[in-house]
Amino acid sequence: MNRRALEAICQTFAPGSEGVADAVLAAANKHLGPAERRQLSLLLGTFGRGFPLLSPARREAALRAWCDSRIPQRRAVFVALKQAALSFAYMRSESSWARERWEAIGYPGPTGTPADPPPRRIEPLRVERDLELDCDVCVVGSGAGGGVAAAVLAGAGLDVVVLEAGGYWSERDFDGAEDPGYDRLYLAGAAAATDDRGIGLIAGACLGGGTVVNYTTSFRAPDDILEEWAGHGFPSDELGGSLDAVCERIGVNTEHNEPSRRDELLASGLRSLRWHVEETPRNVLGCEQGRLCGSCGLGCPLGAKQSTLVTWLVDAQAAGARIVVDARAQRILVDAGEARGAVARSNGHDLHVRSRAVVVAAGALGTPPLLLRSGIRNENVGRWLRLHPGTPVLGVFDEEVRPWEGTLQALYSDQHRDLEDGYGVKYETVPVLPGFAAAALPWRSAAQHAALMDELAQTTNVGVLLRDRGSGRVTLGRDGSTRIRYRLSDDDLGRVRTGVDGAAQILEAAGARKILSGHSRVVSYEPGRRGDRAGFLRDSDAAGWGPGRCGFFSFHPLGSCRMGASPTNSAANPDGESWEARNLVVADGSTFPTASGVNPMVTIEAIAHLNAGKLAARLN
Ligand SMILES: Cc1cc2nc3c(=O)[nH]c(=O)nc-3n(C[C@H](O)[C@H](O)[C@H](O)COP(=O)(O)OP(=O)(O)OC[C@H]3O[C@@H](n4cnc5c(N)ncnc54)[C@H](O)[C@@H]3O)c2cc1C
């Protein structure tokens, strides 16, 4: 690859930054497939011809032209390069440039590992040669779905093997550092996105999956959603017992809701508008609710977050389950219409698991490719992908907010939950560290971006989380790689727009001096001084809402192998079993018939609990 061109690009985004091109190349080599690597190489070849020879001002103009291009692929390239260059520039503690920027911002650096971490609870099975294993049930994935399924099945006396593609990291590794935290714990180092890079896909990819890195918000599926799902043939009337069991095991409570400054500002805005605000139920025990918590997206160093790593997987192991990490399932073995095991690669070795049943819980982005590679052809496999796309509205205050600190999400608002037919948005705020902020903030020039970063300590966010009615699709590319297509429908975008307006109202009511949208162009106003909300919305519309125009993130991929009453409109039956293979059971976020509209972990765990319980009863 043309390193010189990449270096010039990185230096244009963040002049003076150190080691960024090499970090980007290392990440690309690790996380991109062969086709994507070839594309990057071609692109850098194109840039390589003239870009490094341009003056700094002309290089900036060239990047802006890509950002504003009418050609979506160019905007996609801009987004990918911008996010990679700026996040690596700001998150590498070995870079003196990054440390100087942290000091200027007031960010004290990573929290560090705990002095006295709890002992490691899981002892993964080591794979040091090609291996064959026999068991009753092979569980693929160890997140919200897989972790629970493993515990239920092992608890029912079945011999269980868990295959997890990611590594095992525990409290002693959770030092709050973005680098190497994202690389260890997140899908594609947190750089995954839809094919057009319109929506960043943020998902856990380690032992414990999303439950290790998530924000602990623990809502049960609302009754009206369960009623809607019943209409799809989903067994809503059976879920209550599993929801109770899950909330009990992961300790859902509202006793750890000391608000962060972000949450206080959210609540202050909501209360002055007389809008709905409520405490968020959370799955934590002994949570610090302070400095450490802002980095909890990189794992909780206290073990307070009741992820599957400290709950269900521990139960599964105690009941005899064998847990294999760094083991990516490549194919499910299906023989005569029945699941018979899985083939995986682990540490360069072949792993062959023979079993009586397989539970697939590789997440809504991982389950469809695995099923498709295994010859499952139901047309609903990969369809109906929901993302709960979210976009931030930022508020800059005169006071310090320190968005990298405090309880993850202590409060939320459902004021606009139902804008139309049960579809709407939720307002929540998320903790933000410098690397993530640098990638998300608009870049029009190095100086403009640096000025926004200089205000990070005074900046909060209100996340607009959409319950999406439209859907996308997960497919396999010709080279076998995962392709994720998703375009926000106009109908959904209308509700996003209302949500962005609502978030601006909240921030204005809380006293923000400047309010910015998540657009690639800088769209902002200063209440009472420059512009107003109506102009803000007009400028947002002018900047556009399409891919590469406005930044969206998804923390909740769902629905891509949905459960339902018939193979014509679902991928799995009401027991979560594939319509095409007996004892091949889906048990993760992909099972949702439609978007839940609430943060989904508890519901996913309950579905896994229910489906695994039924499978155990059949096998026993
Ligand atoms: C930063 C962040 C914050 C979030 N905050 C919240 C929150 O506050 N509340 C909430 O309810 N939800 C939250 N979520 C979402 C929630 O964590 C996920 O919806 C949930 O974990 C999904 O469960 P799952 O079982 O479907 O998949 P995951 O938990 O993603 O687990 C899938 C696992 O399968 C593994 N895998 C994939 N392919 C293979 C393969 N071929 N072989 C073996 N293993 C494989 C992956 O590595 C992964 O570990 C958050 C998510 C993120 C990323």
Please tell me the distance between residue 96's alpha carbon and the centre of ligand 1 in angstroms: 34
Question: The tokens 């297509």 sit on which residue?
Answer: 485
Residue 34 has pLDDT above 90, yes or no: no
- Ligand 1 centre and the CA of 211: distance in Å? 6
Among the atoms of ligand 1, which is closest to the Cα of residue 206? 49
- Give the tens place of pLDDT for each residue, 149-160: 999 999 999 999
What is the Cα–Cα distance from 245 to 311, expressed in whole angstroms?
Answer: 13
CA of 144 relative to ligand 1 center, distance in Å: 6
Percent of the chain with pLDDT over 90: 95
**Pairing state between β 322-324 and 473-476:** unpaired
CA of 361 to the centre of ligand 1 (A): 9
CA pair distance 307, 250, nearest whole angstrom: 7
Ligand 1 centre distance from Cα of residue 461 (Å): 23
Task: Answer yes or no: is pLDDT of 126 > 90.
Answer: yes
Q: Which of 172, 170, 169, 168 is nearest to 116 (CA)?
A: 172
Residue closest via CA to ligand 1's atom 36 equals 362
Rounded to whole angstroms, how far apart are CA atoms 138 and 301? 30
Residue 426: DSSP 8-state: E
Q: Which atom of ligand 1 is nearest to the CA of 589?
A: 26
Mean pLDDT along residues 46-64:
93
Q: Where are the domains of the chain?
A: 3-91, 131-251+306-383+556-619, 390-467+489-545
CA of 492 to the centre of ligand 1 (A): 24
CA distance 590 to 339: 19
The answer to whether 232 and 569 have CB atoms below 8 angstroms apart is yes
In angstroms, the CA 132 to CA 351 distance is: 6
Report whether pLDDT(535) > 80: yes
How far, in Å, is the centroid of ligand 1 from the Cα of 602?
12
- Lowest-confidence segment of 67-71, 83-87, 112-116, 325-329 by average pLDDT: 112-116
For tokens 């976020």, the residue is 589
Instruction: Find all residues with CB under 8 Å of 105, minimum gap 6, and list them.
Output: 434, 453, 454, 456, 457
**What's the confidence (pLDDT) of residue 542?**
98
Q: Tell me if residue 135 falls in helix, strand or coil.
A: coil
Residue with CA closest to ligand 1 atom 39? 362
Kindly give the number of the ligand 1 atom that is closest to the alpha carbon of 209: 49
In 3D space, the residue among 429, 437, 440 whose CA is nearest the CA of residue 454 turns out to be: 437
Shortest-distance Cα residue to atom 50 of ligand 1: 214
Ligand 1, pocket-test mutation among 386, 408, 481, 599, most atoms within 8 A of CB = 599
169, 186, 213, 215: which to mutate for ligand 1, most atoms within 8 A of CB? 215
68 CB-side CA count, 13 A: 12
**Local confidence band at 526 (pLDDT 50, 70, 90 cut-offs):** very high
Report d(CA 69, CA 311) in Å as an integer. 48
Tokens for 303, please give them: 């073990």
Q: Residue 92 and residue 73: Cα distance in Å, rounded?
A: 29
601, 605, 610, best to mutate for ligand 1 pocket (most atoms within 8 Å of CB): 601
Nearest CA to ligand 1 atom 21: 210
Identify which of 142, 214, 312 to mutate to test ligand 1's pocket (most ligand atoms within 8 A of the CB). Answer: 214
**pLDDT for residue 448:** 98
Q: Decide if pLDDT at 45 tops 90.
A: no
Kindly indicate the confidence band of residue 47, based on its pLDDT and cuts at 50, 70 and 90: confident
Task: Give the atom of ligand 1 at the shortest distance from the alpha carbon of 601.
Answer: 11
Residue nearest to atom 23 of ligand 1 (CA): 144
Evaluate whether 341 touches 353 at the Cβ level (below 8 Å).
Answer: yes
Q: How far apart are CA 84 and CA 46, in angstroms?
A: 19
Sign of the torsion angle spanned by Cα atoms 281, 287, 293, 297: negative
The residues annotated with a catalytic role in the active site are 556
Q: What are phi and psi of 86, to 5 degrees?
A: -75, -35
pLDDT digits (tens, 9 = 90+) for 537-555: 999 999 999 999 999 999 9
Closest CA to 507 of 547, 463, 538, 471: 463
- As a whole number, the mean pLDDT across the chain is 97
Task: Taking residues 85-101, report their average pLDDT.
Answer: 97
Output the pLDDT for position 441: 98
Angle at the Cα of 63 from the Cα atoms of 17 and 90, rounded to 5 degrees: 25
- In angstroms, what CA-CA distances link 90 with 80, 102, 177? 16, 8, 11
Q: What are phi and psi of 352, to 5 degrees?
A: -120, 115
Q: Is the pLDDT of residue 171 over 90?
A: yes
Nearest CA to ligand 1 atom 41: 329
Q: How far is CA 399 from CA 284, 454, 505, in A?
A: 29, 13, 19
- And the tokens for 91? 């998150």
d(CA 146, CA 134): 19
Cβ neighbours of residue 568 under 8 Å, at least 6 residues apart?
A: none
Nearest ligand 1 atom to the CA of 362 is 34
pLDDT, one tens digit per residue, over 397-416 is 999 999 999 999 999 999 99
pLDDT at 48 over 80: no
The mean pLDDT of 368-385, rounded to a whole number, is 97
Interval between CA 606 and ligand 1 midpoint (Å): 14
The Cα 329–Cα 165 span in angstroms is 7
Tokens (6 digits) for 409: 């999400």
Contacts of 226 (CB under 8 A, 6+ apart): 234, 236, 239
Token pair recorded at residue 242 = 């599993």
Global pTM reads 0.98
Q: How far is the CA of 139 from the centre of ligand 1 (A)?
A: 15
| C-alpha–C-alpha distance, residues 126 and 445, integer Å | 49
CA dihedral 116, 117, 122, 126 (to 10 degrees): -80
pLDDT band of residue 43 (cuts 50, 70, 90) is: confident
What is the pLDDT at residue 489?
A: 98
- In 123-221 the beta strands, taken as DSSP E runs, fall at 131-134, 137-140, 160-163, 199-201
Q: Hey, what are 131's tokens? A: 């291996």
* Mean pLDDT, residues 554-574: 98
Which residue's CA is the nearest one to ligand 1's atom 1?
214
The predicted pLDDT at position 158 comes to: 99
The Å distance, Cα 544 to ligand 1 centre, comes to 30
For residue 578 the two structure tokens come to 């594939």
Provide residues with CB under 6 Å of ligand 1: 140-146, 163-166, 202-206, 209-211, 213-217, 297, 328-329, 361-364, 366, 370, 555-556, 588-589, 599-601, 604
Q: Which sign, positive or negative, has the C-alpha torsion 405, 406, 407, 409?
A: negative
Please report which helix (H) or strand (E) contains residue 346, including its range. strand 338-346
pLDDT of residue 1: 64
* Domain 131-251+306-383+556-619 class, CATH top level: alpha beta
Residue of minimum CA distance from atom 47 in ligand 1: 205
Would the CA dihedral through 135, 139, 143, 149 be positive or negative?
negative
Task: Give the model confidence (pLDDT) of 207-232 as tens digits.
Answer: 999 999 999 999 999 999 999 999 99
The gap from C-alpha 298 to its chain's centroid, in whole angstroms, comes to: 12
Q: Which atom of ligand 1 is nearest to the CA of 603?
A: 11
Percent of residues, the chain, with pLDDT higher than 70 = 100
Nearest atom in ligand 1 to 208's CA: 49
Which atom of ligand 1 is nearest the CA belonging to 408? 8
Using only C-alpha atoms, what is the Rg of the chain? 23
First to last CA, the chain: 55
Average pLDDT over residues 343-349: 96
